[in-house]
Every structure is written in C-alpha cells, then in structure tokens.
Chains A and B, each alone.
Chain A
Amino acid sequence: MSMDHDSELDDLEFFQKHVSDRFSDLLSSTIEDPSSEPLLSIAWLRKLLDDFLCCEAEFKAVLLMGRDPSQISKPPLDKLIPEFLERTIKALDLCNAVTLGIDAVKNLQRLAEIAVSSLEQAPIGDGQVRRAKKALSSLVTAMLHEDKDGGIVKGTERNRSFGRRGGNNAAANNKGNFRSLSWNMARNWSAAKQIHAMSSNLYTPRGGESTGLAMPVYIMSSVLVFVMWTLVAAIPCQERNGLGTHSPFPRQLAWAQPMIGLQEKIAEEWKKKEKKGSVGLLEEMQKMDKVGQSLIDFAESFQFPAEAEKLEEVKGQVEELAEICTKMEEGLEPLQQQIREVFHRVVRSRAEFLLVLEQAGKLSAPPM
C-alpha cells in the first residue's frame, strides 16, 4: 500500500517538476540567446505551445491513467474538475480568437511585403517610394488601432502625419479591413474578460489538499491560464482592453517561479505598449512597427536622388523588414496549425474527463 502511495507521489512530483523545467527553459531561452527565440516571437510562441501540449499530456496521464476513475469524482475534485473544464471552454474560444488574430497579422505581412518589394528595386525612385509609403501607412495605421469597433486611437499617434499624399484612402480602407476581422467573434465577447474569468476562481490548494490530486489540477489550470494570457498579449484579438497584468500566482510556489518570471516580463512590455496604443506584443510585429515607422520617415523626406548613405541605411532596414516577412511567412501558418492542435487536444481531454465524471454519476443526470 505504501509503495503505491509513494509511486503516486512520484507521479505528482514529476509533473510539477516537469512543468517547472519547461517554463524555466522558456524563460532562459529569452535571456541566454535572445536572438534565436526572442520573447514572444513566433518561434518562442511555438515552443510555448509545444510545452503546453506536453504538460497537458502528462496531466491527463497523472489524473486518468492507472487510477481508479472514481477518484476523479470525489471531493475536492468533484468541484475542481468541472471548474477546470469551464476554463477549457474559454480556452477554446480564445484559440479561435487568436487564430483570427493571426490572420490579421498575415495581412500586415502582406502590406509589408509590398513595401519590401518596391524598395528592393534599385535605384529607388519616386514611384517606388510612394508605393512603399502607401503600404506602410496602411500597415502602421492598422497596427495602431486597437481591436474594437470605433477603436479609440490612444496616444499621440493619432496626430501623426502620414502626409496627405497618397496614403489616406488606402489607410482608411485598410483600417476597415483590420477591424472587420475582429468582428468575427461573438458580439460582446472579450478576450480580456475570458482570461479574467478563467483566473478568478483559481485558488491554490492548501494544507492537506496540496498533496493530493487537487494540486495537479491547479498546476494545469495555471498553465492553461498563463498560455492563453500570453497568446492574447502577443496576438491582436477581439477586445483585449483591460487585460490584467497582475500575476495570479502566489510568489512562494516554487514550481511557478519561471512562469511568474515570464509573466512579469510580458506584463511590463504590455504596460509600456498599452500607453502607446499599440496592438500586439508579437516580437515580429513590434519590429515591423519600428522599421515601418522609420521607413515612413524616410519616405516622407525622400527626394530623388537620395544620398548614398541614406540609401545604404534604407537597404539595411528593407532587408530587416524582408526577414521579418520571411519569418512570418514561414511561421504564422504553422503557428495556426499548432493552435488548432491545442484546440483538438483540449476538446479530447475535455470529453474524456466528462465521460469519467458522468459515469461516476457526478454530473447531473440527463433529463428523462
């Protein structure tokens, strides 16, 4: 009997340790080698999702495999698991919203590609500059608008002059382009509110409960909330105003330290950007914004022919922009597919848990 108890403890301890290890890895990769997988880059997000899938698989194994299924239906799990399943529903909607948001990012990529292809041609003439400027203006305008209808543009960017020449019509129309994508979630649906609801009833198990199955449920819930929160911070999706930046996890939890570290870093970025009214923390988008603004400046002050060193500088920036586009071209679609995989996995696990609960008669019997 004690042997079983020990191996059961090992199970739970391993799970906790693995979660901690994975997030520790994610945190350190942003510090040690920031150029390969910067925080909130597409590559980093894909790694995050991979880690999520691993955690999820282990969680399911810990809870369901080799265990008497009736354990799931005993207190406190009889309450905790349904709460967890409620969170998974919100996570599914968030997956869909983020996927839509990635479509919006793809749109930005295409605008950037216009600018790249026009400025890549040498020598750079008036026509190319105007074309690039038109595309970049649309790009930057789209980025500035937060994701609700009639979004109020925050900060000083509202008055930024794109010049009356060339950019306006396209900008206006592409604004609509961006906003209309966000209308695809249900009206009144808010990513920020969903995240908030997911974390509002997340309570750290105390005392005796902390050694039982309540702990892995809490850990998995925390991971779920964190991953969703991170995705929403990175990718523009419907209604992110009010996204909370406080860590919902108590500081003293050892396994949560890496996650808390990441959360703090991201929250800091979020607060900075929120003031400027910028749209998504996705690293590639941030870079695109910076380079785009700089190229617009160049375009506005352009006179043919331009100075050689200016052209050299622009060449470098265009290359940078091209690289960002390539990263997006290569990474956005796989990212969407990964999110879809997360979606499937969450649906599947949810169904399995529901089955166990229903068989134990713990869920309300279907009406007859």
Chain B
Amino acid sequence: MDSPPLTPPNLPLSAAEKVILRWDSTASEEAREKMIFDCDRHEVDLYLQAVDEIQRSISSTSISDDTNQVNPAVQIAMARLEDEFRNILISHTIPIEADSLTEQDLEQQPSSSSSPIHREAIDGESNYVNDEGNKLFRFNSEGTCSNVSVNSSYRSTSSIREIDLIPSEAVYDLRCIAERMISSGYLRECIQVYGSVRKSAVDSSFRKLGIEKLSIGDVQRLEWEQLETKIRRWIRAAKVCVRTLFASEKRLCEQIFDGVGTCIDDACFMETVKGPAIQLFNFAEAISISRRSPEKLFKILDLHDALMNLMPDIDFVFDCKSSDSIRVQAAEILSRLAEAARGILSEFENAVLREPSKVPVPGGTIHPLTRYVMNYISLISDYKVTLNELIVSKPSTGSRYSGDPSTPDMDFEEIEGQTPLAIHLIWIIVILQFNLDGKCKHYKDASLSHLFIMNNVHYIVQKVRGSAELREMIGDDYLRKLTGKFRQAATSYQRATWVGVLHCLRDEGLHVSGGFSSGVSKSALRERFKAFNAMFEEVHRTQCVWLIPDSQLREELRISISEKLIPAYRSFLGRFRSHIESGRHPENYIKYSVEDLEDDVLDFFEGIPVSPHLRRRSN
C-alpha cells in the first residue's frame, strides 16, 4: 500500500500551521466534535499535507530558528493524529460474529474422542469460504462498513487462516497516520494507542469464544467432568485463537506498520496479543499441573495432541524475538502434559496393584476392577500413536524378582521386540492378575476362587482378542500364557469340586472279599448313594448361584463336568442299582436318574438360585 503522490503544489508553512491549529481539539469545541477522517477525502488530504509540510520545515530549519513556533504545531498535529488513529481503529473494527469464529475442522482424531463434525447452513447473507484444506468459515459481513472482502491467504502452514479485521481503506488511512507519527518521533504513542484498542478487541473476541478466566486454584477445585468439558472447549477455542485471531492481528500489524521503521509491527503485535495469549495458555498450564489420577489420562492426551498440532502455528505466529516467552511457555506446557501422561500411567499401575477391596464378588463373576482395567487399556490402545511417543521407558512400579511379596515378579527382558507402551500394557495385566490372585483368597470356598480366576482371566483374554491393536501389543505369546491360566483355573475348579463327588462313585471299597452271594456290601453302597446325593445336592444348590457370564465358557465347563459326571454315574447306577432296588426304600438312596443329573447340570453357573422343590424327579 503506497502513499499517493503528494498533492501539489506545496502548502506554505503558515497555511499548514493554520490547518493544524484549526483541528486542535484542546482549543476548539468544533475540532472536538468532528473527526478529520470522517470528513471527505479532501479534508483528510489537506490535513496530511499540512502535517507533511510541518515535518519538512522542521528538518530543514536549524534548531534555534522559530523553534517554538513550529514545535507546538507538531505536537498538536501528533496529538490529533493519535486521536484520529484511535478513532479509526475503534470505529472500523469489523464486528466478528461469534459463530463465524468457530472453526469446524475435520482433522482425524482417535475414535473415542472424535470432535463433532458439522457444517453450518449457509444463509444468503454471509460469505462462505470453503477451501480445499477442508476448513470452513462463515464470515458475516453485516458490519458497519461497506467494502468487505474476505481475503484468505495461504501461508506456509496450511492451517493458518487470517481474516480481515479492518477494511482496507481504513488500513490505508491508519498507515498514512502511522508513517507520519513515526517519522516525527511519536512511535511510542502510536504503539500505545494501537495496542490498547486492539487488545480490547481481542479481549472481546475471547469472550465470544467463551474463553474463561480460571485461576489455577479454580482448576484444582473443579470436578474432573466439568474440566473435561472445559478442555474440549479450550481445544476448539485455542485453534481459532492461534490460527485465525492471532494470525489476523499479526497480519493487520504488518499491513499497517510493515516498512515503517524496524520491527514496529512486531512490537504492536506483541502489545496486542501477549496478554491474551498468556491468558489462553494459562488454562492448559493449570490442567498440566493438576493432581494426577487415572481418569484424567485421555483428556490430557487430547490436550497434549491438540497443543502439539498447534505448535507449528504457534511458532509461525509468534516468530519474533519479543514473543519468545510465549513459545517457550507453550513448549513447557506441552512437556508438562507429556510428563503428566506418564505420571498418570504410573499412578494407574500403582492403583491397580494397590486396589484394596476385599469383599468377594458374589458368584465369582467378573470383578469391577477387571472391567475397569481392561476398558482402560483398550482406550490406551486407541491412543497408542501418541502414547508410543510419550512412553519411552519400562514400568518402574514393582521390581523384578525383588522378593517383595506385595508386587509380582516379571522379567521385562523376556518380552522382546515390544514397544515400552506394550510392555506397560502387559505389566498392567500382570499386576491385575496379581491383585485378583489376592482377592480370590477371600472366598471361603476354594472352588469358587478358582472359578473367579477363570472368569476374570477369560475376560481379559476376550478383551485382548477383541481388539486388533491390543492383540498386537500384548502379543500372542502372552495371550497363550493367559489362555493357559484360565484353563488351568477351570481344571483346578473341577478338581476342587468334583473329585469328592466322583469319589462316591468309585469301585473300590464296595466289594467284600469272600462269599459268593453278595460281592457288594449293601451298607457301603447305601452310604455311597447317600453321600453322592448329599454332595451333589449341595454342589448343585451352591453352584447354581455362581456365575460364568460368558455363555460359551459356561457351556464348555458344563460339558466338561457332564463328560466326567454322567458316564461315571450311569455306569455306577448300571452296576449297582439292582442291589439297592432289591432292598428296602430304594427311593431314599437312588434320588437321581441320569436325566435328572443332565438337567441339573444345566442349572450350574446361571447365577439363579434353584429351589429344591422345583427339582424334577423321575424314578
């Protein structure tokens, strides 16, 4: 934007002074009531010409001549220009609608935290800019001024989108004034005025964006759920602030001050945005130093990722020396967020290890801890791209082979070729099991504690198998180990419950030596039947209430029980029922038919109590 050629011919000095004095706002009411730059162009040009003439005469006359005549004129002119400058800035600021500041972006994010993607309806009034960068802007031109052009420029980072804050004619006028103020040595006043007006414009945009002023104390006190909402809002707002708001302010400074002296545009820019930028980042900083607890991990990662994506834009917008502190602060916050994420993971591992609940879960089913942990590490695998970069060292909780009974042993070297993050996940599963192993001891019934382990480890396996990322990170080796463990638990359960029951159906001890007539001790046989009935009834009664939530596992275990129980009973019945039936009250001893047993096995592990009266009997 070049100044127009000076209006010839030159204005004589006395005439120039008259013009200046006419517009001295301290001297006349009339001068106070009107603004020069609101008048027609002729008036404006005349004034500027007068200023130029005064300046010219100062530089050409020697110091002592008429100093006091020309001097005051300069000051009066500069004071006037300062007011004009302020007035143009204030009255020509394009009012930005709140929703036109909203940047809907279509960036990819982890599925669990995808930002809502919606496009706003276009109405006839607004200019609609949609570009290949997939960014959408609605720019409402219902401002107070006439020619508004949406000027979207592409810079080196494709995500920066500047908008016009002040229409170009006003910018031109501002530049005219700035040049003259600065060449008269009134740079400081110029920066002051510019900074104070633009700063309140930025403040008002902040309010429209809903950027809150929260102290660190406030952030510590708020509930995490409330903070999650605020973080989400902050991420949206920060993108708009850096990529549009600050970038546009920077461009405005360049438009007005570029070439008019060194680094003045930088000074004005910093004057305008330093405070607001610090205010913006203070929130993220407050989050980064908040107390660590596991539920915060994922929002903190969101915040970290958002800030990291914003860094190139921050570096671009705040590229001058005087804005070092802002870039440094942003980098500090980023690294604190990373540290927080690491700390939270560690904290989570501790919490899993220490989780103290002793009340056994009824029915031996899946413990809430197991669900929580597996959901948590599922989410971790969703965030694995970021976390793989942040987590670079192996778990420190617990020590290998420390001999400390309160932590499990694990040799991390065994797990080859896995990322540190994956090792952490495996470790988490290890300590989960360790914790569960402790919990299962609270069951009075050993069978139930085995069932409990079986249920929970199986659940772990299912969750891992159900997620491709998890499976890849946990690895098939460890998965095999886990599978083995729950099968082992199933076997232990069967041994604990059924060995005793099947013991009733064994052959030894029933035959008496000697004598042809009866090879079988009737009394022993009766005892056996009674014992079997009692045991089975007890087992049936108790274990119907137990639960195996996974239907397939439930089926498998029942089949496995049946496979051992039914043939054994069938053969026992077959061999010995005649001996009982030949005696008195056989119904007291043979209470179950094979079909009865088959039916009853189906009741097992349903979690539903069975009333003994409902038991079908067949003779």
What is A's interface to B at a CB cutoff of 8 Å? 89-90, 92-93, 96, 99-100, 103, 107, 110-111, 113-114, 117, 123, 125-128, 130-131, 134-135, 164-166, 169-170, 173-174, 176-177, 180-181, 183-187, 189, 194, 304-305, 336-337, 340, 344, 347, 350-351, 354-355, 358-359, 361, 365-368
When the two chains form their complex, are residues B351 and A368 in contact, meaning their CB atoms are under 8 A apart?
A: yes
> Which residues does chain A contribute within 8 Å of B292, judged by CB atoms?
354, 358
Count residues of B near A (Cβ-Cβ below 8 Å). 62
> Which residues does chain B contribute within 8 Å of A93, judged by CB atoms?
215-217
> Which residues does chain B contribute within 8 Å of A367, judged by CB atoms?
293, 295
Chain B window 285-313, contacts with chain A (Cβ cutoff 8 Å), 1 for yes, 0 for no: 00001011111000000000000000000
When the two chains form their complex, are residues B82 and A170 in contact, meaning their CB atoms are under 8 A apart?
A: yes
Could you write out 28 A-B pairs with CB less than 8 Å apart?
A: A89-B216, A93-B216, A96-B215, A96-B216, A99-B278, A110-B188, A114-B188, A123-B63, A123-B67, A125-B72, A127-B76, A131-B186, A135-B189, A176-B196, A180-B200, A183-B203, A184-B278, A185-B213, A350-B289, A351-B343, A354-B291, A358-B347, A359-B350, A366-B294, A366-B348, A367-B293, A367-B295, A368-B368
Known A-B contacts A96-B282, A128-B71; the reply to A89 vs B275 at CB < 8 A is no
> Which residues does chain B contribute within 8 Å of A336, judged by CB atoms?
325
Known A-B contacts A177-B196, A304-B68; the reply to A366 vs B215 at CB < 8 A is no
What is B's interface to A at a CB cutoff of 8 Å? 25-26, 63-64, 67-68, 71-76, 78-79, 82-83, 86, 185-186, 188-189, 191-193, 195-196, 199-200, 203, 212-218, 220, 274-275, 278-279, 282, 289, 291-295, 325, 332, 336, 343, 347-348, 350-351, 354-356, 368-369, 372
Known A-B contacts A117-B185, A131-B75, A169-B83; the reply to A358 vs B369 at CB < 8 A is no
> Which residues does chain B contribute within 8 Å of A130, judged by CB atoms?
72, 75-76, 79
CA A173 to CA B64, docked complex, whole Å: 35
Most chain B CB within a 10 A radius of its CB, from A174, A181, A304, A366: A366
CA A173 to CA B76, docked complex, whole Å: 18
Report the minimum CB–CB distance from B331 to chain A (whole Å).
13
Report the minimum CB–CB distance from B285 to chain A (whole Å).
9
Contact pick for B203, options A126, A180, A368, CB 8 Å: A180
Select from chain A the residue with minimum beta-carbon distance to B197. A173
CA A183 to CA B278, docked complex, whole Å: 13
| Interface residues of chain A: helix, strand, loop or mixed (majority) | helix
Contact pick for B26, options A99, A131, A166, A350, CB 8 Å: A166
> Which residues does chain A contribute within 8 Å of B86, judged by CB atoms?
173
When the two chains form their complex, are residues B75 and A110 in contact, meaning their CB atoms are under 8 A apart?
A: no
CA A126 to CA B354, docked complex, whole Å: 79
When the two chains form their complex, are residues A126 and B214 in contact, meaning their CB atoms are under 8 A apart?
A: no
Select from chain B the residue with minimum beta-carbon distance to A343. B285
When the two chains form their complex, are residues A189 and B215 in contact, meaning their CB atoms are under 8 A apart?
A: yes
CA A350 to CA B292, docked complex, whole Å: 12
Report the minimum CB–CB distance from B477 to chain A (whole Å).
29
CA A169 to CA B192, docked complex, whole Å: 13
When the two chains form their complex, are residues B293 and A186 in contact, meaning their CB atoms are under 8 A apart?
A: no
When the two chains form their complex, are residues B71 and A127 in contact, meaning their CB atoms are under 8 A apart?
A: yes
CA A184 to CA B212, docked complex, whole Å: 10
> Which residues does chain B contribute within 8 Å of A123, judged by CB atoms?
63-64, 67
CA A128 to CA B68, docked complex, whole Å: 10
Contact pick for B79, options A107, A125, A166, CB 8 Å: A166
Known A-B contacts A125-B67, A125-B72, A126-B68; the reply to A184 vs B289 at CB < 8 A is no
Select from chain A the residue with minimum beta-carbon distance to B212. A186
When the two chains form their complex, are residues A184 and B275 in contact, meaning their CB atoms are under 8 A apart?
A: yes
When the two chains form their complex, are residues B78 and A131 in contact, meaning their CB atoms are under 8 A apart?
A: yes
Contact pick for B295, options A177, A181, A354, A366, CB 8 Å: A366
CA A338 to CA B347, docked complex, whole Å: 32
> Which residues does chain A contribute within 8 Å of B193, judged by CB atoms?
173
CA A101 to CA B308, docked complex, whole Å: 30
> Which residues does chain B contribute within 8 Å of A135, judged by CB atoms?
189
> Which residues does chain A contribute within 8 Å of B295, judged by CB atoms?
366-367
Q: A125-B68, A365-B356 are in contact. List 12 more A-B contacts (CB 8 A).
A: A92-B289, A93-B216, A96-B216, A96-B282, A110-B188, A127-B68, A127-B75, A131-B186, A177-B195, A347-B289, A366-B351, A368-B355
When the two chains form their complex, are residues A174 and B192 in contact, meaning their CB atoms are under 8 A apart?
A: yes
> Which residues does chain A contribute within 8 Å of B189, judged by CB atoms?
114, 135
CA A100 to CA B369, docked complex, whole Å: 46
Contact pick for A184, options B68, B213, B293, B369, CB 8 Å: B213
CA A89 to CA B186, docked complex, whole Å: 43
CA A304 to CA B343, docked complex, whole Å: 70
> Which residues does chain B contribute within 8 Å of A177, judged by CB atoms?
192, 195-196, 199
CA A135 to CA B186, docked complex, whole Å: 11
When the two chains form their complex, are residues B347 and A366 in contact, meaning their CB atoms are under 8 A apart?
A: yes
Select from chain B the residue with minimum beta-carbon distance to A111. B192
CA A107 to CA B212, docked complex, whole Å: 25
Report the minimum CB–CB distance from B294 to chain A (whole Å).
5
CA A354 to CA B82, docked complex, whole Å: 54
> Which residues does chain B contribute within 8 Å of A96, judged by CB atoms?
215-216, 282
Report the minimum CB–CB distance from A304 to chain B (whole Å).
5
> Which residues does chain A contribute within 8 Å of B74, judged by CB atoms?
127
